Structure 1
Amino acid sequence: GIAHDFNNILSAIIGYSELAMTHVTPDTRLERNLGQVLKASMRAKELVQQILTLTRQSEQQFEPLELGPIVKEALRFLRASLPTTIEIRQEISAGSHMVSSNATQIHQILMNLCTNAAHSMREKGGVIEVGLGDVDLAAEDVLRMPDLKPGPCVKLSVRDTGHGVDSSVIERIFDPYFTTKAPGEGTGLGLAVVQGIIKSQGGCVTVSSELGKGTVFHVFLPAITSPTKHEEQAVEPPGRGKERILFVDDEAILAELGKEALESLGYSVVAMTSSMEALAAFHDHPEKFDLVITDQTMPDMTGLVLAQKLLKIRPDIPIILCTGYSQQVTKEHTSETGIREFLMKPLILRDLARVVRRLLD
């Protein structure tokens, strides 16, 4: 499906960016630019996982977050996409309370609100003001916000100097598929998604507007006690080795990427784009390989079926199954068939190297 294809595209972007990073001089503009490519790609990776989670109606995983760095990062991305006639001002309070949230969802909230703000000023330009700070809500403050409880909150505000919104429209502004934009300019889902995300985190969003002067959205999220900060552990370099690996992926660019990435760590790699040819090669020389890495969704024979056939030939061969998305294959299912590891695309070189080294050791 679309998720599988998109994850394959991300695999190539992330993988080749990681390889390029190993060849650049530290503290250069090129390294910083590649870092931004990787950061944006990781956001896209998280967004795909969020979409898949929503379609499976599973619960999102939340973690303690400080919103300041996330808001600043989102505004940097936003600045690059907006015309110079729109100014972005930010007032981010240092040391704001933490919230239990999801970084990708916060990014999505802010991008939706700011994109709507920019749309209202696209003809004459104007100013988007983004504020972040702490508030302590009393009982009377939450009377009009039933989703919130009194107590400390983090308040995120997005204000624009656009044309404003009529009061009749304000009443329906969060309704799914309701939009005042022209056909082809919007689906009417943006603000409905924003409200859904905020409610799922125990928060609330309010809106007020005045025709000819602009609109302001206030997002309130319950604050949490800051967790004890642990010392950051040093990032270990990817594990290296000299073992022989069979890498199978029907996407030629990903097969080539896997070969180059693993060979950069010292491994000897045979990359193949046909599961049938990979089976034949393994059948002829089963002792030639120390490990197999295979994609799941491939023509002629899926990775799961390939793995089962390989294990019949040589039951002790370690196999890693990778997939961009598959409803039929889960980590539990693969372990029952004798597959040692199950990894979701897009693959991160450091994670793949760690798993490979663990299985071979």
Structure 2
Amino acid sequence: MQSYLQNFPLAILHLDEQSKPVFANTAFLKFYGVVEFEEFARNSSNFINSIDAHPPTAPFVISLNGIPKLVRYTIRKIKTSGKNQRFTEFVFEELPAQSEIQQQIARQNDTLSKIINLTFDILLKIDTEYKIHWASWQIKSILGYDANSLTTTNLLDYIHPEEHDKFRDTLRQISFNMNADIEHIRLRDKLGAWTWFRCRVYQIYLDEDGQLGVQIALHDEHIRVKAEELLRSNEERYRSFTNNFPGTIILFNFENAITFVNPAFKTTTGYSSDVAYTENFLEKFIARESLSNFKAHLQIAQKGHVTQTEISYLTLEENRRTAIATIMPLTKDDLVMNICAVLRDVTHEKQMQDQLIQTHKMETIGTMARGIAHEFNNILTGIIGNATILRDTIPEEEFTSKIIEQIERATERCTELTRGLLTFSRQDKKSVEPTDLNGLVQTMINFLRKIIPSSIQIEAPPNLHLSPVLVDQGQIQQVITNLVLNSRDAIQKPGSGFESQGKIAINVEEVDLSDVDVQKVLDARPGKYIKVSILDTGCGIEEDIISQIYDPFFSTKEVGQGSGMGLSVAFGIIKDHKGWIEVDSTPNTGTNFTFYLPTLKESFKKNKYSEEKLHMPGGTVLIVDEDELVRNVAKQTLERYGYHVLVARDGEEAYAIYKAHETSIDLLLIDFTMPALNGRALLAKIHRRNPEIKAILSSGYEMDSKFTDANTRFLPKPYVMTDLIRLAGELLQK
């Protein structure tokens, strides 16, 4: 999920349960004024204390690098499924300068006051201490107080004591551009009687110096009938209100024909009022799947009820939008005369909700993938270890050697599979190694043929011996897969399914680029590179959009047919490997994507199963692992190399064994992810007794292998037994 949030446009910060920063996206680092997360984390305490001193959503001024900024934030609690960790997520928004806000709020308050004067009976302005600064003249006729006499008095003295907490809580929730309603609240009149009001509150500036306050609009529930008569008798005032109302207002007769729309209708939908009044316009305006539902709610309003529903509608440009429709009867003498529908467009909110659902779904799938990979790595550790024991214990002959070699090759393939699962779940670390890129592509051909239609021909590169490149194989496989899928989609014509004919050609070659060759590429340097080209015979890319193809979420496909992240991910991976991507495309002819990766001069690493000289100083090793298969194979291997071995199934049992044999235990082999007392916690507990104890932490999850303690190493699962013996020997030789 953090990978998704990294490029999110809003500034996002995650704190752990100890209020320590654990994640900040690019937008936050720019907002704070630093480049690296570590730079912020080292100096974050003052910033976090400042945030804690201000409530969420309320604007406040904070100094960042000596520059005062007006900001506000929202907050929520989140929990990761995999490790049951809890975080607090802050989303920050930088607001315009104070003077700009004052001018904006002043204009809004002026317009707002005009509208509220038409719909509410009493207006009050108070400060944050509830002191009244101004009251409208209507308060005299409704509550009996002179407006001037109320200034400097406390509004809470007039509110019923049972409503004090509700009123205070409502005021804490509001901020600029937001309001809050109190359905029922009682105020005392001059004679001591309590009168019920409906209340709406807005945050405002009380003066030009920027003093914050609240505007309160009160509607007298007792004079509702009188207010309705007043509105009906004053047509001009009604017209002024509807013309300036920001939402879409539509009036219907009992035949579901539109009789009136306000100016916001054209602004929102693009249709003029003349078009809206035409026959059967409703069938054109409301989307087919929402039409029957909308008509049903119109019938409910015809019976005198207020109702609300979500609908889809079509604009003049045939863009599909989503709105919340509040449908109510308009009555005269208790008879329903017309139906009024007020539409509030929520398209953006729905899109954000859909993205959040997708994010949570992918996070859930990623959690499952991490769990599968962890369990699979435990099993592979047992298989690899037992294969090693077989190789070392049985007589060497051609048949058995081939069988063991096949087992080892199969485990290598399974290891790559678990690495792919961890890559998908975004829990992997970048793991680079010298790689024959041409060989890597050759191994992918069968997989690529399975993900494209048989009607599309894929041409593999010739099998050449090229210089190695230092890459993360999983990430480069992801780049090639993304580019091939992009070519597949370019070849397939809409609606033609898998019948489109075409060709995708992959070519890998080694090139020596001169200064002239790289002068058009900003980050390129002359030298030797492996060049990978993926050429297709698809529809090509239009010239006016080719500059946008690497933008995150940019896509020319239909909604739901792609995330728009494939090319942006490929671009980022290649750039992270100190390479670059080029594109050459001709509309209706095809596209050629080419990426370059610098070659590596040193030779390949030895096979991980090859023999090496191992140091075996001996000693006592305590193995702690909940998986019996891993415990047994590690125990057998260590014992064969002259070590005395103790075993434990969990952290508590291991700690008890350690206390009983503290003077004789030389080395710990600990599974990192155990229930209750996990590997890190167990090691910390033992360190309090013996800070010099040597330890190997192991896990089927990818994790940071760097430890500040020189006596602690990390061994990822699945591991070959020679790696275990080598690491144990290195630690015990110290």
Partner of 2:717: 346
After superposition, what is the alpha-carbon deviation per residue over 1:160-183, rounded to whole angstroms, capped at 9, x for unaligned?
Answer: 234444444433221112234455
Aligned CA distance change for structure 1 residues 257 and 133 (closer, same or farther; 3 Å): same
Partner of 1:94: 464
Partner of 1:18: 384
What letter is aligned with 1:256?
L
Aligned CA distance change for structure 1 residues 12 and 80 (closer, same or farther; 3 Å): farther
Aligned CA distance change for structure 1 residues 40 and 61 (closer, same or farther; 3 Å): closer
Alignment equivalent of 1:71, drawn from 441, 464, 478:
441
What letter is aligned with 2:572?
G
Partner of 1:41: 415
Worse-matched range after superposition: 79-88 or 199-208: 79-88
C-alpha contact (below 8 Å) 1:93/1:133 kept by paired residues = no
- 1:292-307 correspondence runs (5 A): 292-307=668-683
* Alignment partners' CA distance in 1, 2:671 and 2:482: 34
SS at match of 1:351: helix
Computing the radius of gyration from Cα coordinates, the structure with the larger value is 2
C-alpha contact (below 8 Å) 1:128/1:159 kept by paired residues = yes
Alignment equivalent of 1:331, drawn from 707, 715, 720:
707
- 1:52-71 correspondence runs (5 A): 65-71=435-441
Alignment equivalent of 2:656, drawn from 280, 284, 305:
280
1:188 paired to 2:564? yes
C-alpha contact (below 8 Å) 1:201/1:221 kept by paired residues = yes
The two structures have a TM-score, normalised by structure 1, of: 0.73
1:106 paired to 2:492? no
The two structures have a TM-score, normalised by structure 2, of: 0.40
What letter is aligned with 2:381?
G
Partner of 2:698: 322
* Alignment partners' CA distance in 1, 2:478 and 2:602: 25
After superposition, what is the alpha-carbon deviation per residue over 1:214-264, rounded to whole angstroms, capped at 9, x for unaligned?
Answer: 33211133456x347899995238778986543223xx43x5323323324
C-alpha contact (below 8 Å) 2:373/2:421 kept by paired residues = no
Q: Cα offset for 1:296? A: 3.5
- 1:173-212 correspondence runs (5 A): 173-181=549-557, 185-212=561-588
C-alpha contact (below 8 Å) 2:439/2:463 kept by paired residues = no
* Alignment partners' CA distance in 1, 2:464 and 2:706: 42
After superposition, what is the alpha-carbon deviation per residue over 1:115-161, rounded to whole angstroms, capped at 9, x for unaligned?
Answer: 33344457226432110113454555545433334555432111223
Alignment equivalent of 1:260, drawn from 633, 637, 657:
633
SS at match of 1:188: coil
Worse-matched range after superposition: 349-358 or 280-289: 280-289
Aligned CA distance change for structure 1 residues 151 and 278 (closer, same or farther; 3 Å): closer
* Alignment partners' CA distance in 2, 1:229 and 1:325: 23
After superposition, what is the alpha-carbon deviation per residue over 1:257-291, rounded to whole angstroms, capped at 9, x for unaligned?
Answer: 23323324536655434312222233344467553
1:115 paired to 2:485? yes
C-alpha contact (below 8 Å) 1:92/1:133 kept by paired residues = no
What letter is aligned with 1:257?
V
Q: Cα offset for 1:293? A: 1.6
Alignment equivalent of 2:374, drawn from 8, 33, 47:
8
* Alignment partners' CA distance in 1, 2:687 and 2:513: 61
SS at match of 1:217: strand
1:172 paired to 2:544? no
C-alpha contact (below 8 Å) 1:247/1:259 kept by paired residues = no
* Alignment partners' CA distance in 2, 1:99 and 1:62: 9
* Alignment partners' CA distance in 1, 2:615 and 2:457: 46
* Alignment partners' CA distance in 1, 2:706 and 2:577: 27
Q: Cα offset for 1:193? A: 1.8
After superposition, what is the alpha-carbon deviation per residue over 1:27-65, rounded to whole angstroms, capped at 9, x for unaligned?
Answer: 35x8547514414524754895895687xxxxx686665
Aligned CA distance change for structure 1 residues 168 and 10 (closer, same or farther; 3 Å): farther
What letter is aligned with 1:18?
I
* Alignment partners' CA distance in 2, 1:96 and 1:190: 27
C-alpha contact (below 8 Å) 1:62/1:101 kept by paired residues = yes
* Alignment partners' CA distance in 2, 1:137 and 1:31: 41
Higher relative contact order (CA 8 A, sep 6+): 1
Worse-matched range after superposition: 230-239 or 92-101: 230-239
Aligned length: 345
Q: Cα offset for 1:308? A: 4.0
* Alignment partners' CA distance in 2, 1:313 and 1:16: 32
* Alignment partners' CA distance in 1, 2:525 and 2:434: 19
Partner of 1:57: none
Unaligned ranges ≥5, structure 1? 55-59
What letter is aligned with 2:384?
E
Alignment equivalent of 1:247, drawn from 614, 623, 627:
623
1:214 paired to 2:580? no
What letter is aligned with 1:331?
F
SS at match of 1:280: helix
Partner of 1:146: 522
Q: Cα offset for 1:207? A: 2.0
* Alignment partners' CA distance in 2, 1:347 and 1:232: 15
Aligned CA distance change for structure 1 residues 344 and 183 (closer, same or farther; 3 Å): farther
Unaligned ranges ≥5, structure 2? 1-81, 83-366, 392-399
C-alpha contact (below 8 Å) 1:296/1:302 kept by paired residues = yes
* Alignment partners' CA distance in 2, 1:53 and 1:291: 27
C-alpha contact (below 8 Å) 1:164/1:210 kept by paired residues = yes
* Alignment partners' CA distance in 1, 2:471 and 2:420: 13
C-alpha contact (below 8 Å) 2:435/2:604 kept by paired residues = no
* Alignment partners' CA distance in 2, 1:70 and 1:352: 28
Worse-matched range after superposition: 190-199 or 267-276: 267-276
1:129 paired to 2:505? yes
Percent sequence identity over aligned pairs: 27
Q: Cα offset for 1:310? A: 3.2
Aligned CA distance change for structure 1 residues 358 and 216 (closer, same or farther; 3 Å): same
* Alignment partners' CA distance in 2, 1:289 and 1:331: 21
Q: Aligned-pair RMSD on alpha carbons? A: 4.3
* Alignment partners' CA distance in 1, 2:663 and 2:445: 54
What letter is aligned with 2:401?
P
What letter is aligned with 1:35?
R
Worse-matched range after superposition: 260-269 or 128-137: 260-269
SS at match of 1:331: coil
Aligned CA distance change for structure 1 residues 232 and 15 (closer, same or farther; 3 Å): closer
Aligned CA distance change for structure 1 residues 9 and 298 (closer, same or farther; 3 Å): closer
